[in-house]
Amino acid sequence: MQSFALTLSLVLMAAIVLIFGWVVLSASTREVPPAKPFRWRSPIFWILIVAGVIISVATLSPWPMSGHTASASEPDQVIQVTGQQWRWELSSDTVESGKEVEFQVTSNDVNHGFAIYRDKTKLITQTQAMPGFVNKLRVIFDEPGEYEVMCLEYCGLSHHAMSATIFVR
C-alpha cells in the first residue's frame, strides 16, 4: 500500500509539474487574443467527479475498518491494550498466525498511537489509544515472527521510546 501511495502521488505531482512547466515556458510569448483556456475545464470537472465516485465506492466498500462496527463474526483472540506514558500493557503478547486478533485499545493518560510494525520500515496497521474510549482494531498476522508496537501519537518526553513486542507463532 505504501509503495502504491508513493508512486501514485509522484505520478500525479509530476503531471502537475509538467503542466506548470508548459505554461511557464510559453508565458514570455504574447498571444493576442488569448486562446480559450477554460474550454476543457467543465469536462475535466465532471471527469474528476465521476472518478471521485468510483474511487470512493471502491475504497469504502466493503467498509475498510473491520473492527469499527459490531461485526457478525467473533475474533479468534481478543487482546486488551492500554497505553500509558511511556509503555504499552498488553493482556497477551502472543498470537497465532492466520488467526483474527482484535486489539481493544485504550489509554490511561494521554492520546497515544498503537501502531504495529513488521520491522522498522513496514507499518502494518494502527489505531489511536484514547483516554475514556476503546478503539477495536482487527488484524490477521500472515507471517510468524516478532512485530514491534510503536507509539504514533506524540505523548511527551519518551514518546519515541514507547514500544512493545508481539510474538506471532
Partner 1 sequence: MSEQTVKGAPARLAFQLYVGIGVAVFLLMMVAGAVLRMAQGAWIDIPANYFYQIMTLHGAGMVGTSGLAAAAVMWYFLRRHVDLSTGAFLTMLGLSLVGVVMILASIGIGGFAAAWTFLYPLPAKSAGLWGPHAAAGYVGGLIFIGVGFLVFYVDCAIAIIKRYGGLLRGLGIDQLLSGKIDTDHPPTVVASSMVIIINVIGIAVGAVVLVMTLVNLYVPSIAIDALLAKNMIFFFGHVFINATIYMAVTGVYEILPAYTGRPWKISRPFLAAWAAVTLVVMAVYPHHTLMDFVQPKWALVLGQVLSYLSGIPVLLVTIWGALANLHRSGVRWELPLRLIVFGLLGWSIGIIPAIIDGTIRVNYVMHNTLWVPGHFHLYLLLGLLPMLLGIMYFAATRANWQESVADRLMFWIYGVAGLVFCLFLLLGGSSSVPRRFAVHAQEWLMLTQIGAVAAVLVLLASLYLGIKLLRRLPHLQVGGA
Tell which one of 158, 165, 167, 169 touches partner 1 (CB under 8 A).
Answer: 158
Closer CB to partner 1, residue 131 or residue 169? 131
Residue 73 engages partner 1 in binding (rule: CB under 8 A): no
Which residues ranging from 25 to 44 are in contact with partner 1 (CB under 8 A)? 26-31, 34-35, 37-38, 41-42, 44
Q: Count of residues binding partner 1 (CB under 8 A)?
A: 80
Q: Check residue 75 for interaction with partner 1 (CB under 8 A).
A: no
Considering the rule CB under 8 A, would residue 167 count as an interface residue with partner 1?
Answer: no
Give the shortest CB-141-to-partner 1 separation in angstroms: 15
Cβ 78 to partner 1, closest distance in Å?
15
Instruction: Tell me how far the alpha carbon of residue 117 is from its chain's centroid.
Output: 13
Can the peptide bond before residue 86 be classed as cis, meaning omega within 30 degrees of 0?
A: yes
Interface with partner 1 in residues 118-157 (CB under 8 A): 119-128, 130-137, 150-157
Q: Does 71 bind partner 1 (CB under 8 A)?
A: no
Q: What is the spatial distance between Cα 164 and Cα 103, in angstroms, rounded to a whole number?
A: 14
